[in-house]
Amino acid sequence: MKKYKKSTDLSWLDELNQAQRKAVTAYQGPSLVIAGAGSGKTKVIIYRIAYLIKVCKVTSQKILALTFTNKAANEMKSRLENFLSLSVKDIWMGTFHSIFAKILRIEGNKLGFTRNFTIYDESDQHRFIKEIIEYSGLVNKNYDPEIIKNIISKCKNKLISPDEYIESAETDFEKDIGKIYSIYNNKLWKNNALDFDDLILKPIELFSKYKDVLNKYQNKFHYILVDEYQDTNKAQHKLLKLLAEKNRNICVVGDDDQAIYSWRGAELSNIIDFEKDYPDVKIFKLEQNYRSTKNILNFAQEIVCKNKLRREKNLWTEKEEGCKINLVSLYSDKDESRFIVDKIKEEIFKNKKKLREISVFYRINSQSRTIEERLQKNNIPYIIVGGIRFYERKEIKDILAYLKIIANPRDEISLLRIINYPHRGIGKATLEKVKSFARKKGIELYRALKNSSRIQNLDKRKKTNILSFYKLIEKYRELKDKLSLTELTRCLLDETGIISLFKEEGSRESIERIENIMEFLSAISEFSRTSEKPTLENYLQEISLITDIDMWNDAEEAVSLMTLHSAKGLEFPVVFIVGVEDNLIPYIKRLENEEELEEERRLFYVGCTRAKEKLYITYAKIRNRFGNETVSLPSRFLNDIDMNLVNIIEMESSSRNDIEYRRKKEITVPKAEESFEKGQLVKHPTFGIGEIIEKSGEGEELRLLVTFEGNITKKLLVKYARLELLH
DNA sequence: GTGCTGCACCTTTTT
DNA sequence: GGTGCAGCAC
Ligand SMILES: Nc1ncnc2c1ncn2[C@@H]1O[C@H](COP(=O)(O)OP(=O)(O)OP(=O)(O)O)[C@@H](O)[C@H]1O
C-alpha cells in the first residue's frame, strides 16, 4: 500500500470517489452520511480525521471519534498511523463506553463515586438484582432477575429514571420493578459501582448538573465523529447532543439497513432525529460499493429490499459478476459442518485462499460447536470470536473478583463471590449473619468483616475465619501500590492456593483452567509493559470493556467463526452463513412482530454483505438442539429470490427442493390451533393414525404428544408435522 | 453448617 | 450441553 508521509502531499484524497471526498471535506457543521454496505462509510470517517489534522490543522486532542467496537477503533488508529503517517495517540477514539468510562474516572467524584469504581458486567448485574429481590422485603420474590435486568436496562437506555418509572407504574408488577430499580441504583452507588448503561447515563447527569464540566468537554471535543450511528440509543443520542451543542461539528455515519441492535435499546429514529436536531445538516449519500461482486451485492439487495421500513438505496458496483451464491441444502447440522469444512479445504488447497480470508457466521453462539468439532477433526486452525468472553470464564472471574475488591472494597458482588473461595469455612449461614449485622449497623459488608468480632451468636472459629479473610484483603490493599500488577497477582494466586487447588484435582478441565490462568497472567504482564499507567484500576477498567472481537488478532492464520452480530463492520473474501432456516434466521423468538422480523432480515443482509468474492448459504433439515432433534425449513428469507443469482446445491439424501416444498406446505399447515384437542385422532404421513395425549405451547410453537399405532409416542411440532385431523 | 450431586431449566444477538 | 439451585449426606 502506498504511504503518504509528507503533510503537503494531498494526493491521498484521490483514493476517495467524488461523493466520499465531498463528505470528507465538508468538515464544518453537522453532517450525516447515510449509505449502504461497503460504500466506504468507515473510510470516510478515517479520511475525515486525516483531513482535519493534515489540512485543517486541528490538533488531535480536539477530535472525538466513537466506534461500535474497540477493534474498529484500533483498526482506524492503525490505518491513520501506518498509512497516513499520523500520530493518533492523542485522539479520543473508542467505544462510547470506554471513552465515557475514562471521563467518569476523571470527573466521577462530582457524582459521588471515586475513580476506582467497579464496572459490573451482566452476570454481576444478575447476581446483584437477585440479591436485591431477596432482601428488598417485596411480597412476591419470584421475579426472574434476568427479566428485571432487561427492564432496568431498557429504562436506562431510554433515560427513564426510577422515580419516573414508579410514577407511571400501574400494575403491582410494575410497582415492584420500580422499587427494585430504585434500590438497584442506590445499591450500585453504595458499592461504588456502575453498570454498562451508567457509563452513558452518568456523563449525561454530569453534564446536565455541572455546566462548567460540560463546557470543558465541549471545548475539548471540537470535532465529533460517530460510526455505526444506526445502532446508537436514546441516551447516546442525548449525550452527543450535549457535547456537540456548542461547536456543532458533528459527523455521523450509518446505514438504516444495518440496524441490528434494537434489542439493546438502539433506535433507528436517531437518524431521523439527527435531521431534526440539526436542520442545517449536510446529508451525503454514497452509492458505490467497493466490497462485493455484482452477484453478492444484488443478492443482498434483493434480501433487504423486501423490508417496508427503509430508505430506498441505489447501490452499485464496478466489480465483476463473480461466482453465484451457493445455496446449499443439507440433511443435518452434522452434514452441514462436514460440507463447510470440505469447502474450506477446497478454498485453501485448490483456490489458494488463506485461512484468515474465510469466515463462518451463525445466528446463535451454540451453533459454533458442531462446526468446531469438525474443524478440529480436520486439523484446520480456527478461532471463535465472541461467545463466552475470556474474562467471563469462572476461574478468571474469581481472580478478578479478588483484584476488584482490592481496588474497590465496597464492591459487594465481588466480595460475596470469593469470600468462601477457596473454602475457608464461611458458609451460607455464617455469611447470612454477617450480612444481617451489616444491614443492622448500616455499614458496608467489608466493614462488617472488620468488626465481625462484635457479631452476636457467631462461633469464635468463624469469627477468626472472617477476620483472616479481611486481613488477607487488607494486606493486598497495602501491597497494591508497592508491588507491580503482575507481582501482586502472582502473590495473590500463591497465597490463596487457587492454582494448587486445580493441580490437585488434576482433571482435564482443571488443566485447562490452569492454562487459562497462565494466559491471564501473561495478559497482565503484557498490559504492564504496554500501558502508560499500568495500575490495577486502569487494568480493571480496560478489561471490563474489552470484548472477544477486540482481542482477536485477525492477521492470525485461522478460519474465524462468529455470530452475525459480531460480523458487523468486517469483510472476508469467503463467507459461509450457516443455519439459514426458519426459527434460526429469523430466530424463533422474533417471528411475531413485523419490526423484529425486519431486523432479522437486516441481520441476514449484514451477513451477506460481508462477503467480497464468495458466499455460501447453508441450511439443514434436522438440527440438534439441546439433545433433541428438531425439524427445520429453509428460511423464509430465501423465498422469492432470483434464481439467476444462485447456484443450488442439494446435499440432502432425499432430493426434494425444500423451497418449493415449503411453498406447498404453507397451504397445508393447519390454521386453527384450537382444532387439536386431547383425545382426538390424527393422521401423520409417516406414522399413520394416532391419538393426541398432550398439548403444549401455542401458535408456531404448538406441540402435541401423540401415540401412534404400535405404541409409538412422538412429540410433534404441529407447524411441521403435517397432521390431519380425523373426525 | 457446609459441601456435593443430581436435576431442571434454559439461552438470541453484546457494549 | 451447561449452569444454577434444591435437597441430601457428611
Ligand atoms: N473509494 C474507494 N476506492 C477503493 N476502495 C474503497 C473505496 N471506498 C471504500 N473502499 C473499500 O471498500 C470496503 C468497504 O469500506 P468501508 O468498510 O469503509 O465501508 P462501510 O460503508 O463502512 O461498510 P459497512 O457499512 O458494510 O461495514 C473497504 O475494503 C474499503 O477499503
Q: Does A115 reside within a domain?
A: no
Q: Does A79 reside within a domain?
A: yes
**CATH number of the domain where residue A434 is located:** 1.10.486.10
Q: Of all protein residues, whose CA lies closest to atom 26 belonging to ligand 1? A: A37
A686, pLDDT greater than 60: no
**CATH number of the domain where residue A160 is located:** 1.10.10.160
Q: A104 with A242, same domain? A: yes
Report the candidate in A66, A63, A57, A59 with the shortest Cα–Cα distance to residue A7.
A57
A613, pLDDT greater than 90: yes
Peptide bond just before A409 cis, omega within 30 deg: no
Q: A519 with A444, same domain? A: yes
* Strand C: residues with CB below 7 A: A 123, 130, 369, 388, 394, 626-627
Report the candidate in A187, A93, A87, A81 with the shortest Cα–Cα distance to residue A134.
A187
Query: Within 6 Å (CB) of ligand 1, which residues are found?
Result: A 15-17, 20, 35, 37-43, 255, 258, 290-291, 569, 571, 609
Within 7 Å: CB of A386 and strand B? Answer: yes
CA of A45 to the centre of ligand 1 (A): 11
> A363-372, A497-506, A601-610 — which is least confidently predicted?
A497-506
CA dist., res. A396 & res. A670, Å (int): 51
CA dist., res. A250 & res. A225, Å (int): 6
pLDDT of residue A697: 63
**Number of domains comprising chain A:** 5
Please name the residue whose C-alpha is nearest to the C1' of nucleotide B15. Answer: A97
CA of A610 to the centre of ligand 1 (A): 11
Q: A191 with A205, same domain? A: no
Q: Which of A324, A397, A610, A621 is flagged as catalytic?
A: A610
CA of A530 to the centre of ligand 1 (A): 31
A235, pLDDT greater than 90: yes
Q: Does A665 reside within a domain?
A: no
Q: Are strands A703-708 and A712-717 parallel, antiparallel or unpaired?
A: antiparallel
Pocket-testing residue among A42, A301, A317, ligand 1, by greatest number of atoms within 8 A of Cβ: A42
Please report the atom of ligand 1 found closest to the CA of residue A290: 12
Question: What kind and span of H or E run contains A604?
Answer: helix A594-608
A671, pLDDT greater than 70: no
Backbone angles phi, psi at A512, to 5 degrees: -60, -40
Q: A413 with A504, same domain? A: yes
**CATH number of the domain where residue A226 is located:** 3.40.50.300
Residues 127-166 of chain A: which lie with beta carbon within 7 Å of strand B? 146
Q: Looking at A288, A319, A345, which one is the last position of a domain?
A: A288
Q: What SS3 state is found at A651?
A: coil
Scanning every strand, the nucleotide with its C1' closest to A586's CA turns out to be: B12
Scanning every strand, the nucleotide with its C1' closest to A145's CA turns out to be: C4
Q: Which of A67, A118, A232, A258 is flagged as catalytic?
A: A258
Q: What number is the average pLDDT over the span A479-496?
A: 89
A668, pLDDT greater than 60: no
Structure confidence by residue, pLDDT tens digits, A28-70: 999 999 999 999 999 999 999 999 998 888 998 999 999 988 8
**CA A329, chain centre distance (Å):** 29
Task: Please give the grid coordinates belonging to residue A43.
Answer: 473510510
Structure confidence by residue, pLDDT tens digits, A633-662: 899 999 878 888 888 887 765 434 444 444
CA of A37 to the centre of ligand 1 (A): 8
Q: A401 with A441, same domain? A: yes
> A489-493, A579-583, A665-669 — which is least confidently predicted?
A665-669
β-partners of residue A615 are A575
pLDDT of residue A473: 92
CA dist., res. A482 & res. A601, Å (int): 55
Task: Please give the grid coordinates belonging to residue A60.
Answer: 488531535
Q: What SS3 state is found at A572?
A: strand
A419 near A469, Cβ under 8 Å?
yes
Q: A215 with A70, same domain? A: yes
Report the candidate in A209, A202, A263 with the shortest Cα–Cα distance to residue A235.
A202
> A85-89, A219-223, A695-699 — which is least confidently predicted?
A695-699
The whole-number Å distance from A98's CA to B15's C1' is 9
Question: What kind and span of H or E run contains A33?
Answer: strand A31-34
Residue type, A540: L
- A28-32, A429-433, A540-544: which is most confident: A28-32
Q: Does A662 reside within a domain?
A: no
Instruction: Give the structural domain span for A226.
Output: 11-109+200-288
Of chain A, the percentage scoring pLDDT greater than 70 comes to 89
CA dist., res. A342 & res. A252, Å (int): 42
Q: Does A227 reside within a domain?
A: yes
A209, pLDDT greater than 90: yes
pLDDT of residue A552: 80
- A332-336, A388-392, A671-675: which is most confident: A332-336
Q: Specify the higher pLDDT residue, A180 or A660.
A: A180
pLDDT of residue A722: 57
Q: What SS3 state is found at A547?
A: coil
A691, pLDDT greater than 80: no
Q: A30 with A92, same domain? A: yes
Q: Does A295 reside within a domain?
A: no
pLDDT of residue A661: 40
Please report the atom of ligand 1 found closest to the CA of residue A606: 26
Structure confidence by residue, pLDDT tens digits, A442-476: 888 888 888 888 877 777 877 888 888 899 999 99
| Bases of chain B with protein Cβ within 7 A | 1-3, 10-15
Q: Looking at A235, A263, A288, which one is the last position of a domain?
A: A288
pLDDT of residue A653: 53
A620 CB contacts (<8 Å, ≥6 apart)?
A: A329, A330, A331, A332, A333, A335, A336, A579, A581, A632
Active site residue A42: yes
A188 near A412, Cβ under 8 Å?
no
Q: What number is the average pLDDT over the span A93-119?
A: 90
Q: What number is the average pLDDT over the span A14-37?
A: 92
β-partners of residue A22 are none
pLDDT of residue A685: 54
Helix axes A460-479, A394-407, angle to 10 degrees: 80
CA dist., res. A140 & res. A655, Å (int): 55
Q: Does A666 reside within a domain?
A: no
Q: What SS3 state is found at A639?
A: coil
A664, pLDDT greater than 50: no
For chain A, give the mean pLDDT.
85
Q: Of all protein residues, whose CA lies closest to atom 2 belonging to ligand 1? A: A16
Q: A215 with A250, same domain? A: yes
Within 7 Å: CB of A262 and strand B? Answer: no
Could you tell me the end-to-end alpha-carbon distance of chain A, in angstroms, rounded to an integer?
74
Scanning every strand, the nucleotide with its C1' closest to A628's CA turns out to be: C1
Q: Which of A124, A198, A228, A658 is flagged as catalytic?
A: A228
Task: Please give the grid coordinates belonging to residue A562.
Answer: 462468529
A223, pLDDT greater than 80: yes
| Bases of chain C with protein Cβ within 7 A | 1, 3-5
pLDDT of residue A216: 94
Q: Does A251 reside within a domain?
A: yes
Q: Of all protein residues, whose CA lies closest to atom 25 belonging to ligand 1? A: A37
Q: A427 with A534, same domain? A: yes
Pocket-testing residue among A49, A251, A290, A357, ligand 1, by greatest number of atoms within 8 A of Cβ: A290
Q: Of all protein residues, whose CA lies closest to atom 1 belonging to ligand 1? A: A16
Q: A233 with A92, same domain? A: yes
A98 CB contacts (<8 Å, ≥6 apart)?
A: A70, A545
A278, pLDDT greater than 70: yes
CA distances from A647 to A44, A601, A643 (A): 35, 21, 8
Q: A187 with A311, same domain? A: no
pLDDT of residue A121: 85
A225, pLDDT greater than 90: yes
Active site residue A424: no
Within 7 Å: CB of A364 and strand B? Answer: yes
Which phi-psi region, left, alpha or beta, contains residue A25 (left: φ > 0; alpha: ψ -120 to 50)? alpha
Q: Looking at A195, A226, A254, which one is the last position of a domain?
A: A195
pLDDT of residue A432: 81
Active site residue A95: no
Q: What is the value of pTM for the model shown?
A: 0.83
Q: A373 with A395, same domain? A: no
CA of A565 to the centre of ligand 1 (A): 19
Q: Categorize the per-residue pLDDT at A202 as very low, low, confident or very high, splitting at 50, 70 and 90.
A: very high
